């Protein structure tokens, strides 16, 4: 894209975010090796380790007992996802003060548009002063360390952040080719094993190599993306920052049960309760689903699944749960092992048909009204104020289900944005979507 | 069983029945067509347990018997055969040898005794209707049925038979199509024919001859005599349950009646429909000062306006409809004019034509 003014995009990324949150929440951990454990009981594998812990060779994906062996005086923190969410929100609120356009990417990273700041805001300061001011504020107010990178596109900004960690790096518009020349292509988000191999076949390991290839060859091999890559490697890729709120295309849930469940009836109740929650969420968003699928993972990590496509999109618990029961029976046929994990998803989403019928208000409208009333009650009295039969059964079935733990917040950008701006965003999205 | 049959006869017999066989069926035997050879004819039957179709074709029967063979494969094979005579011989192990000219094929079948029996049928009344008439009636109502499996009583066409009248009604809750024709020798009955049977019937109905509708408690049977041959019989389960009271939603009175050119309206709607989307699937009709304005407005796409000269002096009426719903009847109606009866922007609109046809359409709410 050719723009008169080169874009200046800032990428901000929390350093070892979950581990840093733990330190921010408990000052006594400051300066000590800290890692956060994931898995069922929060002591399975390491999902985040701070810099002090990394010095001992502790890394994400390592088993917690190995981490303890490598660093006996380190601290294993059980994840507190709700707290991480709260800190993340506070972090984005600070970031919002620094630019009119903020695009959150995940719980701990986001992009800010700083284009034209040099002409209007940075009269007496440099970009580095401004960004370091932002980093210092997040450090002071939330005690969270963040790194940042500034470049002409989101791709460049992200690479600059990786180069900066920990700290801040700016890649000026005319130094991009030089900055990239010796960097390995796999550093770019979107370059996986397969693309890396395809590029290696063409003799391109670094961006410098890519820049020397003919652009037509890259276009032939990778399509539009290839051409973008060539422009990027040559320092010509300029991209404005847009907050694109895409419509939801799917809703899914994946839950590892607190313990391996040998009772299939109990597992079914869990699945029904989960589906009820998800269908309610869809209805609140004015959607209904045409396809659903269920996958069960057993103790021995084998999986079995089934799916169904309705002739017509559906939004009623009764219709969907009746099919879910059949899918569950199909999935479980011939199995006897305890259930470890239940994955449920709905896709092929369509807007709810709210056109009034000849016989009066539609079921969709009546259910919509019921859902929003339930949401109001829940916001006032807690999430167990109103329960459906299956949800009630689940609560009473087992004490471990009574207070479900909050889940790891791997939130898509759309939901992140929605949480930050709520209704404001819905108005926004009507213009942009 | 051993028979000899002409290629054309066998192909047309299979053509009549094979469509009932689903691509994916729960029981393997349902992918098969039942063949019964007896006294100078070959009877063919296919079923999906809800709808079944029978046809008979003349054949030279050397040895009587019955078997079932994979319907789609047999039909595909017969269609491709070039010779005019086909011989079929079935062994004790249910392997059918199909021989025609220089072609010889063996197809594995399943024993006829395993083929699902037809449900017992007790006739409680019957009526005779010209095939062309019924075909036309189905064409004018069939598009309005619901395919939503959660509303199964609407998954079919409601047949209302009176001594002198046959009425067909289809609705998906948001629009309703009704067509009425005079008949002779009717009885009094009301039943719902499921979508699949309606589609099969529409395919089988010809432009000449009569169709006999025989009614049972849970089933209905349509007999379609063929020129110079045995009749094709379609046998179907009825949709269980009571059809909603459709008379109650047909507006008894209206404020304005507007005459519109059918083609002009249809073309304008087709153009305006290009602007609509999944989320904004409505067009607005504004009737005022001898003019009908059709406007479409979809924030992320754009907007459009169509203007049609009409005779209308009444107060301005603004009403929004789903353009697809409005176009559906225009596609099947004959004649140059349609009549639109309206009351206000929230009450159902009624579309009529010069034929005994009625279409009730609920407006969309606009904000």
Instruction: Establish if B300 touches chain A: CB-CB under 8 angstroms.
Output: yes
SS3 A302: coil
Of the segments A224-238, A357-371, B350-364, which one has the largest average pLDDT value? B350-364
| DSSP assignment of B193-235 | EEHHHHHHHHHH--SSSEEEEEE-SSEEEEEEEETTEEEEEEE
Whether the complex's predicted ipTM is more than 0.90 is answered with no
**Is the pLDDT reported for residue B133 higher than 50?**
yes
The token pair at B49 is 């347990």
* Structure-token pair, residue A143: 């005690």
How far apart (Å, rounded) are the C-alpha atoms in residues B161 and A344? 47
For B:205-264, CB contacts with A below 8 A are: 244, 249
Q: Do B364 and A355 touch (CB under 8 A)?
A: yes
CA dist., res. A144 & res. A87, Å (int): 9
Tens digits of residue pLDDT in A189-217:
878 888 888 888 888 888 999 888 888 88
Average the pLDDT over A146-169 and give the result: 91
> Over the stretch A80-97, which tens digit does the pLDDT of each residue have?
888 888 899 899 999 988
Contact A319 B149 (CB under 8 A): yes
Q: Which residues pair with B343 in a beta bridge?
A: none
The percent of residues in chain A predicted with pLDDT above 70, rounded, is: 89
User: HSE of A141 in the Cβ direction (CA atoms, 13 Å)?
Assistant: 15
Model confidence pLDDT, tens digit, residues A17-53: 999 999 999 989 888 999 988 777 767 788 888 888 9
pLDDT of A331 > 70? The answer is yes
Determine the pLDDT at residue A408.
Answer: 55
- Within 8 A of B364 by CB-CB distance, chain A residues are 355
Q: Cβ–Cβ of B150/A358 closer than 8 Å?
A: no
3 state DSSP class of B118: coil
> Exposure pattern of A176-210 as b/e (b: 16+ CB <10 Å)?
beebbeebebeebeebeeebbeebeebebbbbbbb
Per CB-CB distance under 8 Å, the chain B contacts of A359 are 173, 244, 249
pLDDT average, residue stretch A342-369: 83
Report chain A residues whose CB lies below 8 A from the CB of B299: 430-431
CB-CB contact of A210 with A230 (8 Å): yes
pTM for the structure as a whole = 0.74
If one compares B43 and A365, the residue with the highest pLDDT of the two is B43
Q: Could A319 and B150 be called an inter-chain contact, meaning their C-beta atoms sit closer than 8 Å?
A: yes
A72 to A37, A39, A53, A60, A66: CA distances (angstroms): 15, 21, 11, 17, 10
pLDDT of residue A2: 46
Q: Is B299 on the interface with A (CB under 8 A)?
A: yes
Q: Is B362 on the interface with A (CB under 8 A)?
A: yes
pLDDT at res. A192 = 82
Q: Is A326 on the interface with B (CB under 8 A)?
A: no
A348 touches chain B (CB under 8 A): no
Q: What is the pLDDT of residue A426?
A: 46
Q: Do B147 and A311 touch (CB under 8 A)?
A: yes
Res. A421: pLDDT tops 50:
yes
Mean predicted confidence (pLDDT) in A374-403: 71
Residues of B in contact with A432 (CB under 8 A): 300
> Who among B244, B360, B362 is closest to A355 (CB)?
B362
Q: What is the mean pLDDT of residues A142-170?
A: 92
The distance of B119 to chain A (nearest Cα, Å) reads 27
As to burial, measured by CB atoms within 10 angstroms (0-12 exposed, 13-18 middle, 19+ buried), residue B154 is buried
Q: How is A30-41 classified by DSSP, letter by letter?
A: TTS-EEEE-STT
Q: Is residue B66 less than 8 Å (CB to CB) from chain A?
A: no
Q: Is B86 on the interface with A (CB under 8 A)?
A: no
For B311-360, what is each residue's pLDDT tens digit?
A: 999 999 999 999 999 999 999 998 899 999 999 888 999 999 999 999 99
Q: Which of A311, A359, A433 sits opposite B149 (nearest CB)?
A: A311
- Interface check for A50 against chain B (CB to CB < 8 A): the answer is no
A273 Cα to chain B: minimum distance (Å): 20
What number of CA atoms fall less than 13 Å from residue B99's CA on the CB side?
9
Specify the pLDDT at position A13: 92
Q: CB of A56 within 8 A of CB of A91?
A: no
Mutation site for A-interface testing, chosen from B24, B144, B147, B148 by largest number of A Cβ within 10 Å: B148
Nearest alpha-carbon partner for A19 in A111, A63, A83, A70:
A83
Distance, CA of A330 to CA of A111 (rounded, Å): 45
Spatial distance between the Cα atoms of B121 and B238, rounded to a whole number of angstroms? 12
- Chain A residues with CB under 8 Å of B348 CB are 358
- Nearest Cα of chain A lies from the Cα of B249 at a distance, in angstroms, of 6
> Is A357 near chain B, with CB under 8 Å?
yes
pLDDT of residue B122: 86
Task: Tell me: pLDDT of A407 over 70.
Answer: no
- For chains A and B, CB pairs below 8 A equal 50
A431 interaction partners in chain B (CB closer than 8 Å): 299-300
Residues A237-270: tens digit of each pLDDT: 888 888 777 778 889 888 888 788 888 888 898 8
**pLDDT for residue A433 is more than 60:** no
Confidence tier at B227 by pLDDT (50, 70, 90): confident
Q: Which two tokens stand for residue A159?
A: 């690479």
Is the pLDDT reported for residue A423 higher than 60?
Answer: no
A430 contacts in chain B (CB < 8 Å) = 299-300
B358–chain A Cβ distance below 8 A for any pair? no
Average pLDDT over residues B59-73: 93
Q: Is the pLDDT of residue A125 over 90?
A: no
CB contact (8 A) between residue B365 and residue A356? yes
Q: Does A310 touch chain B (CB under 8 A)?
A: yes
For residue B212, pLDDT beyond 90: yes
């Amino acid at each position: 894209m050719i723009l008169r003014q080169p874009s200046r995009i800032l990428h901000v990324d929390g350093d070892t975010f979950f581990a840093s949150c733990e330190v921010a929440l408990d000052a006594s951990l400051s300066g000590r090796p800290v890692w956060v454990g994931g898995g069922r009981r929060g002591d399975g594998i390491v999902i985040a380790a701070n810099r002090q812990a990394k010095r001992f060779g502790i890394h994400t994906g390592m088993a917690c007992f190995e981490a303890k062996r490598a660093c006996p005086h380190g601290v294993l923190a059980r994840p507190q996802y709700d707290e991480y969410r709260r800190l993340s929100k506070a972090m984005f609120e600070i970031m919002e003060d620094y630019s009119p356009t903020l695009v959150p990417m995940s719980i701990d990273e986001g992009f800010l548009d700083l284009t034209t700041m040099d002409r209007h805001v940075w009269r007496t300061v440099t970009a580095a002063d401004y960004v370091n001011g932002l980093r210092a504020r997040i450090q002071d107010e939330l005690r969270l360390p963040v790194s940042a990178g500034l470049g002409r596109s989101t791709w460049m900004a992200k690479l600059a952040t990786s180069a900066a960690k920990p700290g801040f790096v700016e890649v000026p518009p005319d130094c991009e080719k030089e900055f990239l020349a010796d960097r390995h292509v796999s550093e770019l988000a979107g370059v996986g094993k397969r693309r890396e191999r395809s590029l290696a076949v063409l003799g391109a390991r670094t961006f410098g190599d890519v820049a020397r290839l003919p652009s037509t060859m890259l276009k032939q091999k990778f399509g539009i993306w290839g051409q973008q890559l060539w422009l990027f490697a040559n320092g010509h890729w300029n991209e404005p920052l847009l907050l694109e709120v895409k419509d939801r295309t799917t809703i899914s849930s994946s839950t590892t049960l607190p313990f391996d469940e040998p009772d299939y009836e109990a597992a079914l109740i869990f699945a029904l309760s989960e589906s009820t929650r998800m269908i309610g969420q869809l209805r609140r968003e004015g959607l209904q689903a045409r396809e659903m699928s269920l996958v069960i993972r057993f103790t021995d990590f084998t999986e079995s699944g089934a799916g169904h496509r309705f002739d017509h999109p559906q939004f009623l618990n009764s219709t969907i749960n009746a099919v879910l029961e059949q899918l569950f029976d199909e999935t479980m046929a011939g199995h006897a092992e305890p259930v470890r994990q239940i994955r449920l998803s709905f896709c092929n989403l369509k807007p709810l048909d709210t056109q009034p019928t000849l016989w009066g208000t539609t079921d969709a409208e009546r259910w919509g009204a019921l859902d929003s009333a339930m949401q109001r009650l829940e916001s006032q009295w807690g999430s167990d104020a109103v329960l459906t039969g299956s949800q009630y059964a689940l609560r009473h079935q087992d004490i471990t289900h009574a207070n479900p733990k909050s889940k790891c917040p791997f939130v898509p950008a759309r939901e992140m944005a929605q949480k930050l701006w709520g209704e404001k965003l819905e108005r926004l999205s009507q213009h942009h979507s | 069983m051993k028979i000899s049959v002409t290629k054309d006869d066998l192909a047309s017999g299979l053509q009549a029945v094979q469509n009932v066989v689903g691509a994916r069926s729960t029981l393997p035997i349902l992918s098969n067509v039942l063949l019964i050879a007896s006294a100078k004819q070959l009877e063919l039957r296919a079923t999906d347990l809800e709808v079944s179709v029978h046809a008979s074709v003349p054949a030279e029967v050397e040895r009587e018997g019955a078997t079932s063979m994979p319907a789609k494969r047999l039909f595909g094979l017969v269609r491709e055969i070039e010779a005019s005579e086909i011989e079929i011989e079935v062994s004790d192990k249910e392997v059918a040898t199909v021989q025609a000219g220089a072609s010889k094929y063996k197809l594995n079948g399943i024993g006829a005794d395993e083929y699902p029996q037809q449900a017992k049928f007790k006739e409680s009344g019957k009526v005779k209707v010209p095939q062309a008439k019924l075909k036309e009636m189905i064409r004018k109502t069939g598009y309005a049925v619901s395919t939503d499996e959660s509303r199964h009583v609407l998954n079919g066409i409601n047949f209302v038979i009176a001594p002198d009248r046959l009425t067909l009604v289809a609705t998906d809750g948001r629009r309703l199509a009704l067509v009425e024709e005079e008949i002779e020798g009717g009885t009094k009955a009301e039943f719902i024919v499921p979508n699949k049977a309606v589609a099969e019937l529409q395919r089988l109905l010809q432009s000449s001859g009569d169709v006999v509708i025989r009614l049972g408690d849970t089933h209905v049977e349509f007999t379609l005599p063929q020129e110079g041959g045995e009749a094709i019989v379609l046998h179907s389960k009825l949709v269980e349950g009571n059809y909603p009271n459709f008379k109650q939603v047909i507006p008894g009175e209206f404020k304005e009646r507007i005459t519109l050119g059918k083609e002009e309206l249809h073309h304008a709607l087709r153009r305006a429909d290009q602007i609509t989307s999944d989320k904004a699937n409505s067009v607005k009709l504004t009737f005022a000062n001898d003019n009908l304005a059709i406007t479409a407005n979809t924030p992320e796409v754009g907007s459009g306006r169509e203007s049609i000269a009409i005779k209308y002096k009444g107060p301005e009426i603004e009403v929004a409809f789903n353009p697809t719903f409005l176009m559906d009847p225009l596609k099947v109606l004959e004649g140059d004019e349609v009549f639109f009866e309206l009351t206000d922007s929230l009450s159902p609109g009624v579309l009529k034509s010069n034929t005994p046809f009625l279409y009730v359409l609920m407006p969309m709410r606009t904000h």
